[in-house]
Amino acid sequence: MMYFMLGVVFIAFLTYDLYSEKLGGASKRVKFVYVVLLLLSAYHLSIFKGWLYSYSYYDMANLIFGGAAESILAYLNPKG
Amino acid sequence: MKNMLTPNQLAVLLFVFLTGSSIINIPAPLIFFSHNAAWISIICAAMLGLLVLLLIMRLARRYPGLNFIQYSSKLIGKPIALLLGMLILTYLIHMAAAIVMDIAMFLNSSMMRDTDYTIFVILIFLAVSMTIRVGVGKFAGMFGLLILSVMIFVVFNISLAIPGYDWHYLLPVFDEGIKPLLHGTYFIYGFPYGEIVLFAMIIPYVRLKAGDRTGRKLAFAILLNAVFLILVTLATILTFGPIAGERKYSMFEVARTIEITEIFQRLEALMGYSMIVASFMKASIVLFLANITLTQILGLPKENRQLIFPLALFCTIISISVGIRGEANWNFIVTSIHPLWGLICATIPLLLVSFVSLFRKKPKQV
């Protein structure tokens, strides 16, 4: 059901953007970012589905902020 | 000019942004961290929020019509300003995903247990992206009425729960020292007061004039939010006492305790409505901010709507994929990483830009 809904929404909005928002005539920068965002979405969907074992958005956040957040927590809540 | 805001609309948007999902979600974890000093944590964090507002308004009046990235470019150079913009964008994407995930988890755990949470995430982001497409002027007007209904139901809920309050539950305070208070302040600064920084991107939608009292109206919005948060936190403590920190979706749980002469009961439905509507409004504002931040980074006109859909889709998939590392990991992200993320990606850039502005001449007003 989830994939069906995503597919319907994707087709509907892509069609709307191409015809109403004139995506076809947009600058190269817009088209590039549009494709990058769609690819990032596909990447995260692959991780969710289990086809790809890689770092997700929140895995990166954990990697960057996790250590410092744990230290702050250890100071503020010494009981654990 | 369409899609401009009045100072009153901006204040309403700020109130919606601050109150949105926090009124239902904040009390339980806050009480878990600060125990009976939770209401004091709110006061401390609200004071910090007012300081943040002071900095934002100072920069907004100094550079009228410019958003955070635009005046940062003038102050610290375009490359660093774009980097700060990217940091803010990552924070906004996380916020949008987290807020919608929160609504989905609430619906899945409280009301519609057999429905897959991904359906809620997709439908909510669909509604949010269609809302922001109409423009900030239109949805700001709509949100005023919606937040009024939410606050009426919250007040109704707090008032009708009074028979169940035990005033002894307010004590003791500071039984474990000051660290629980600091922990609570850290948490609630991250959500929602530290997020005020993001309003530096939306202030240019208001034509600031001398004597319009925009700053005071925004400060009033913050104070009103703090009052409501204190009221709901106290209501939760007074109702549940020692287990208040364990009752997720506090106002929903408080509403479930209300039963007056078999007429006033099952009021949790009103709180369910309040939670969903308030979080939807906040998610809309956040996704709108993400869109204008992205268009500003790319140097596109601010009315550009071509990237709303892919941005919303990306946030949807991020939100759906949240649960793959388990609920404990998600709780850690929301309660511990989120405040730090906001501090590094929003508050520190604002402080940096404000600091640099002290050493630059005020630009000539045309």
CA angle B24, B30, B32 (to 5 degrees): 115
Q: How confident is the model at residue B2, as a pLDDT?
A: 58
Which of A19-28, B52-61, B155-164, B279-288 has the weakest average pLDDT?
A19-28
Q: How confident is the model at residue B264, as a pLDDT?
A: 67
Q: Look over chain B and give the mean of its residue pLDDT values, rounded to a whole number.
A: 89
| Residue range A57-71, pLDDT digits in tens | 999 999 999 999 999
Q: Give the closest of A2, A29, A33 to B122, CB-based.
A: A2
Greatest mean pLDDT range, A13-17, B108-112, B124-128, B162-166: B124-128
Q: Give the closest of A14, A17, A69 to B337, CB-based.
A: A69
Tell me how close the Cα of A38 comes to any Cα of chain B, in angstroms: 6
Q: How confident is the model at residue A79, as a pLDDT?
A: 66
CA angle B206, B84, A33 (to 5 degrees): 90
For residue A2, what pLDDT band results from cuts at 50, 70 and 90?
confident
**Residue B314 to residues A6, B176, B296, B311, Cα–Cα distance (Å):** 11, 43, 18, 5
ipTM: 0.91
Which of A3-7, B46-50, B66-70, B271-275 has the weakest average pLDDT?
A3-7
Q: How confident is the model at residue B189, as a pLDDT?
A: 93
Which of B233-237, B259-263, B280-284, B315-319 has the weakest average pLDDT?
B259-263
Interchain proximity B321–A48, CB inside 8 Å: yes
Find the farthest-apart pair of alpha carbons in chain B and give their distance in angstroms, rounded.
67
* Cβ partners under 8 Å of residue B180, min gap 6: A76, A77, B33, B34, B35, B37, B174
pTM above 0.95, yes or no: no
Inform me whether the pLDDT recorded for B31 exceeds 50.
yes
| Residue range B336-366, pLDDT digits in tens | 999 999 999 999 999 999 999 988 877 766 5
What is the C-alpha separation between B309 and A11, in angstroms, rounded? 11
Neighboring chain A residues of B97 at a CB cutoff of 8 Å? 57
Q: Which residue has the higher pLDDT, A17 or B121?
A: B121
For residue B1, what pLDDT band results from cuts at 50, 70 and 90?
very low
Domains and CATH numbers, chain B: 7-353 (1.10.4160.10)
Greatest mean pLDDT range, B112-121, B203-212, B291-300: B291-300
Q: How confident is the model at residue B111, as a pLDDT?
A: 77
Percentage of chain A beyond pLDDT 70 is 96
Q: Does residue B321 sit at the A interface (CB-CB below 8 Å)? A: yes
| Residue range B325-337, pLDDT digits in tens | 888 888 899 889 9
Chain B residue nearest residue A1, CA to CA: B119
Pair B53, B192: CB distance under 8 Å: no
Q: Which residue has the higher pLDDT, B223 or B257?
A: B223
Neighboring chain A residues of B344 at a CB cutoff of 8 Å? 65
What is the C-alpha separation between B51 and B45, in angstroms, rounded? 10
Question: Which tokens sit at B136?
Answer: 């900030």
What is the C-alpha separation between B139 and B131, in angstroms, rounded? 7
Interchain proximity A69–B304, CB inside 8 Å: no
For residue B296, what pLDDT band results from cuts at 50, 70 and 90?
very high
Q: Which residue has the higher pLDDT, B163 or B221?
A: B221
Percentage of chain B beyond pLDDT 70 is 98
Inform me whether the pLDDT recorded for A28 exceeds 60.
yes
Interchain proximity B313–A38, CB inside 8 Å: yes
Neighboring chain B residues of A78 at a CB cutoff of 8 Å? 179
